[in-house]
Structure 1
Amino acid sequence: MANKSSVLNEKDPSARIFNMSDAISIDDQLYINDLFSIPKEGYLPESLKEFEPFIDSTKTFCVYLRDVYLHIVLMFVTNWTMPLTQPLNFLLIILIYLTSILFLLPATLFLSIANYIGMNFKLYDEAGWQKLTTERLSKIRERGIAALGKPHTSQLPNFNLDLAETLLFLSSIVYLREETEVRKAVTNLSQIRNKISKQEQVEVGDLENVFQALENADDGVRKVVNDWNIQFKSVSELSTSKGVYAGLFWSVKQNFIVVSFKGTSPTNFLELVVNFTFQRKDGRSFLFGGVHEGFYNCLFPKDNAGSLLSKKGYPHMRIMEAINAKAKEIRVKNKKTEPVNIWITGHSLGASLATLFYSRLLKAPGALSDDCVLRDVYSFAALAVGDSNFSSEFSSLYNGSNTTLWRIISELDIAPHLPPNNGHFRFLRQYLTENDILNYFHVGDTVKFYHRNKKPSCDPSIFNPSAKSRKIDQVLTWNDWKTMFNDEQQSLTNQPVNNNSPIYNQTVLPYEGILKLPVLTMLRNHIPHRYFAAMEKSRPYFSSNSPSTS
């Protein structure tokens, strides 16, 4: 590891504390600044360290109760006639919040015990995932990685199954990062901050300990992708050191960067609460309309746009700085004339954050430097992120964009139905009030995969992308006309197929068999490998010579 010596010459801990030397890469500088932006947390004495998971979960649950109480009180104070004028909405608000509290209460205890005994579920396992396909995973990845590096030429949506599965791998591998090492780095930085505030001497070894912990944290992810000739680095902790984060995968040779947001770990209560903090926040300072508060606070300032926090920077800004710096570095190394392809992905909570990140880029496209070209978003199991105003304004910019947000969902997965929303009844948005609890809508182009023998539900252009490229003044044959107005591509590969092999329903995780029980299936189908199995089962519907798989 390079000698990361530095001169510590700032007396004010709230300022940019380090005057980094040239020995420290721009990646490390940006990441250290991000770690310093994490709100200072109270650290427990050593005698209570073993109980930290339970204490954290209990504290988080109490804060959640307080926030829900304040939200309901303020909503009724500003609209005290709601029980009379909107009785259905009033009852739904009480019912939905009560249900969420009753769900989180036992979850607090269960997940605390799971953390205490060290229960861990690997959401990506090479051997386990290999059992779910008739192809070799390496071949799928080779085709997917090649697609990540192709220059952006087509102005038409182009869904690529191999690329989708490769990005699913990358959005699952980020779960392998070691969070305890990140906490260790944050603790060491806190000690450095205290030394500076007391004007004490800071040793180079203090900073070395920070970098060593961060390298250890990413080591599990790197070991997987190094075999694929891809590199990885965490770039933002998204305002907390206890779970959710964003990382970059990149390849100098293939000329791409993938921004991957980590989703909800099965035993992380803090991330679960982020999902259930579904009261909306005014997002117009950085996005549009009303936005899911839990997701919004991960990427943007929690207070107003003119705050000190927004002037210092916030997670979205720091992620953009990391992307631009890495893209510049890649172009210097590979000397290619094309800009670097920027892809965005995530699973579950990570998919929702990917949606908001992409939404910000639609609103502020100048955030990407000339070294970058924004490609598509492949989100898996995303929760709804915004209200009707968010959906409408997003769509107005999205329809004029040459990029696509592919919202990939799996049959019988509970996540796409949360928060309770009007995803299937978009025509209702004009009748909903701003405070309606059901005022949530999904955005992007939906592709739904099934665990039955059923063709994916999606726009027909996925199977027949050429249909949208016909020019109205060109001479068309009868077959051309049929493909323009027929939802099905007239080829054998897109006819119903018999694909009942038991390989697609194998269990990969410990205790997964329990999730095959009724109702619990909705949780099982949310797991990343179930998405992979559903997509693999649909492969016969994708023509081998179609742009969708090339």
Structure 2
Amino acid sequence: MSAPSLVKQPVNTPVPRESSFERERDIHKKLEGIRTDEIFGERGAHDPGFLKALLLLVPFFKTTYLYIQLVIHESGRYFSWLSATWAITITEIFSGHPFVDPVSYLFFVIGGTLVLPVVLILCLVARFPPLTRLYYAWSRLFGGGLGIVNSGNANFFKALTKKQVEAAKMELHRGFGESKPDRECPPNENARVFDYDIAKLLLQIAAVVYEHESTDIRNAAFGTAGHKSLEFLEATGDGFIRTFAKQFNIEYHPISELENKSSAFGGLFWDPDETWIIVALKGTGPIEFGEWLSDLDSTMTDCSEYIPNFKMVHRGFKERVFPNKGRLPSQQQHQRPYNTISLGIQAVANHLHARHPDRKVNVWFTGHSLRCATASLIYARMLMKPEEIGDHAVLRDAYLFAAPIVCDSDSVKAFNDKMFADTPERTMWRITSNDDFVATGLPEFGDYQHLFDPKALQKVESQANNFFYAHLGAEIILYDRPSPSTVAGNHLTNGHPVQLHSYHFTPEEISKAYDKQKSKLGETVREKIGVVLQLIPVLGRFIAHSTVTFRTNLTVLRSVNASGLYT
């Protein structure tokens, strides 16, 4: 049966509001207050008053001073990482744990020791002010004015039509148990549904947040912003994100800088006329050394204090949202990144609920690359403690693109037990493109413990073994050719029905729309080049990691009937 054309479904009439502009302005002010608390909670010592005045009056001195400070700061972080990580590794070698445990530590620490100095130099060179200005001059001419991650395809954010976005928004808005349009495959009440319309919009949002570049945030945290408190502290690129969102009647506000002064952050997206919120976390910025340090801080650490029933997780990812050392007195711990995000969700949910008092507000998650791991931990905490997103919000699915390993198998079991125990069902979709290196390139023996002999496993596995990391979520593997998808991972049991589906468009309609858009934007040649590049050993695995490749593969995959059973 063919899926019907897009028809706007009836929704409950919202409560009239006195002024749309005023209400949206108020919620943005509230979110900015929450975010500003976190930013200025990170600030350390302030610059002397005379130096601050000089920096504000003479832009050249300010730029030079900030760059020197950046060099000192990032170099210091590298040496701190080096000493701390090697100290832990040496301790592990003499700890008496199974032989494989110290070997797993050495694998990661030697790799980091060799890779990070090169990364540090490249990041500092890339952030050298004259080169930065040169890059943005080039980008304005040839890259659509976009940042490094997105400038390779300036047409990326023109790929979705308004009709496709409206279809996605209808499904984001729809509550648990509400009737859906007819679909081409028979309904299955027990099926987990991977919604193509939602996936495509969330991929666009996961990509557009890369445009947030935190130079102004860094200035504020270093004490050179010139304001005691900043209303609507605007990071470079936030204007582009807002413009992208506004064309679809979507509001956007950054909510957390994720315990850092680089460009990692979390943002909230919502439609004032509907009842959904998207929590989007930005992936690793390629020239942000602090993010590389965090990503390579791979020691397993206990997370049970923060996520009930969890055990060991990747320390670098955990520190982004649940830092061990609070910057603030205990009575002000709400300024931790996780709490900032949960407070932001509550604020927007209350704001939307005021217009739709008889509906719950759906909370969805998305992200790309290594920040998917951070999103996974936030999602897991909210799954275990739903009261922390408020009475008016309900946690829905996550669509995470190129998610890496994040925790041990015991934590995965606790996560899966909760996901299957809850009614109604929700799913964390972990989308992988071909042999994407970030998603598949690191040891992931924790995903395959069921294949090991239990007695042999006890001899090599412990809580300290970095080889036994695992992923969270159900994996959907995309290919750059019309092949049936592969559904994998430990999130689902064998034989569980999985449907990859659009409720509003047939496969033929989707393929036709994509071909039309591709021809209009001149994307045919770029797509063919991308397919060829993915065939190159090593390099191809990094090409597969790009958001553009995910967009292409999502569309190619949708051209076949990919519904079926998890195997």
In 1, the alpha carbon distance for the partners of 2:277 and 2:401 equals: 18
Pair 312,150 (structure 1): closer, same or farther in 2 beyond 3 Å:
closer
Pair 513,23 (structure 1): closer, same or farther in 2 beyond 3 Å:
closer
* Matched letter for residue 32 of structure 2: D
Partner of 2:403: 382
Partner of 1:30: 34
Whether contact under 8 Å (1:278, 1:419) holds in the other structure is no
Partner of 1:7: none
Matching of residue 121 in structure 1 with residue 148 in structure 2: yes
Pair 542,112 (structure 1): closer, same or farther in 2 beyond 3 Å:
farther
For residues 450-461 of structure 1, the aligned pairs below 5 Å read: 450-458=479-487
For residues 41-80 of structure 1, the aligned pairs below 5 Å read: 46=62, 47-77=64-94, 79=95
Matching of residue 182 in structure 1 with residue 186 in structure 2: no
Q: How far apart are residue 129 of structure 1 and its match?
A: 2.5
Q: How far apart are residue 185 of structure 1 and its match?
A: 3.8
Q: How far apart are residue 452 of structure 1 and its match?
A: 3.2
Matching of residue 253 in structure 1 with residue 273 in structure 2: yes
Pair 388,337 (structure 1): closer, same or farther in 2 beyond 3 Å:
same
Pair 311,111 (structure 1): closer, same or farther in 2 beyond 3 Å:
closer
- The partner residue of 1:410 within 433, 437, 442 is 433
In 1, the alpha carbon distance for the partners of 2:524 and 2:69 equals: 37
Q: How far apart are residue 88 of structure 1 and its match?
A: 3.9
Higher relative contact order (CA 8 A, sep 6+): 2
Whether contact under 8 Å (2:164, 2:197) holds in the other structure is yes
- The partner residue of 1:440 within 469, 478, 490 is 469
Pair 302,436 (structure 1): closer, same or farther in 2 beyond 3 Å:
same
Whether contact under 8 Å (1:36, 1:189) holds in the other structure is no
Whether contact under 8 Å (2:482, 2:560) holds in the other structure is no
Whether contact under 8 Å (1:30, 1:235) holds in the other structure is yes
Q: How far apart are residue 60 of structure 1 and its match?
A: 2.6
Matching of residue 110 in structure 1 with residue 122 in structure 2: yes
Q: How far apart are residue 174 of structure 1 and its match?
A: 0.8
* Matched letter for residue 292 of structure 1: H
For residues 511-522 of structure 1, the aligned pairs below 5 Å read: 517-522=536-541
What TM-score comes out, normalization by structure 1 length?
0.76
In 1, the alpha carbon distance for the partners of 2:270 and 2:371 equals: 18
Whether contact under 8 Å (1:413, 1:525) holds in the other structure is yes
Equivalent position SS for 2:430: strand
In 2, the alpha carbon distance for the partners of 1:187 and 1:65 equals: 24
Question: Could you list the per-position Cα deviations for residues 77-136 of structure 1 after superposition, in whole angstroms to 9, with x for gaps in the alignment?
Answer: 4x1x34xxx3344334323321222122211112221222224414278853279x7xx5
Matching of residue 426 in structure 1 with residue 453 in structure 2: no
Which of 376-385 and 86-95 deviates more? 86-95
Pair 165,124 (structure 1): closer, same or farther in 2 beyond 3 Å:
farther
Pair 212,300 (structure 1): closer, same or farther in 2 beyond 3 Å:
closer
Equivalent position SS for 2:258: coil
Whether contact under 8 Å (1:345, 1:351) holds in the other structure is yes
Matching of residue 527 in structure 1 with residue 546 in structure 2: yes
Whether contact under 8 Å (2:216, 2:225) holds in the other structure is no
For residues 291-330 of structure 1, the aligned pairs below 5 Å read: 291-303=313-325, 308=330, 311-330=333-352
In 2, the alpha carbon distance for the partners of 1:181 and 1:304 equals: 23
Q: Structure 1: state its 5+ residue gaps.
A: 1-21, 193-205, 470-482, 484-491
Whether contact under 8 Å (1:387, 1:441) holds in the other structure is yes
Whether contact under 8 Å (1:237, 1:245) holds in the other structure is yes
Which of 297-306 and 443-452 deviates more? 297-306
In 2, the alpha carbon distance for the partners of 1:309 and 1:420 equals: 40
- The partner residue of 2:194 within 136, 159, 164 is 159
- The partner residue of 2:283 within 237, 243, 263 is 263
Partner of 2:18: none
Pair 166,419 (structure 1): closer, same or farther in 2 beyond 3 Å:
same
Pair 40,380 (structure 1): closer, same or farther in 2 beyond 3 Å:
same
* Matched letter for residue 238 of structure 1: L
Pair 64,137 (structure 1): closer, same or farther in 2 beyond 3 Å:
farther
Runs of 4+ in 1 over 6 A off after TM superposition: 41-45, 304-307, 499-505, 510-516
Which of 96-105 and 531-540 deviates more? 96-105
In 1, the alpha carbon distance for the partners of 2:117 and 2:32 equals: 39
Pair 99,283 (structure 1): closer, same or farther in 2 beyond 3 Å:
same
Whether contact under 8 Å (2:219, 2:225) holds in the other structure is no
Paired residues, number: 472
Q: How far apart are residue 235 of structure 1 and its match?
A: 0.7
In 1, the alpha carbon distance for the partners of 2:331 and 2:150 equals: 34
Partner of 1:198: none
Partner of 2:170: 146
Residue identity over aligned pairs, in percent, reads 22
In 2, the alpha carbon distance for the partners of 1:52 and 1:306 equals: 24
Q: How far apart are residue 70 of structure 1 and its match?
A: 2.0
Whether contact under 8 Å (1:278, 1:294) holds in the other structure is yes
Pair 126,251 (structure 1): closer, same or farther in 2 beyond 3 Å:
farther
Whether contact under 8 Å (2:213, 2:235) holds in the other structure is no
* Matched letter for residue 403 of structure 2: A
What TM-score comes out, normalization by structure 2 length?
0.74
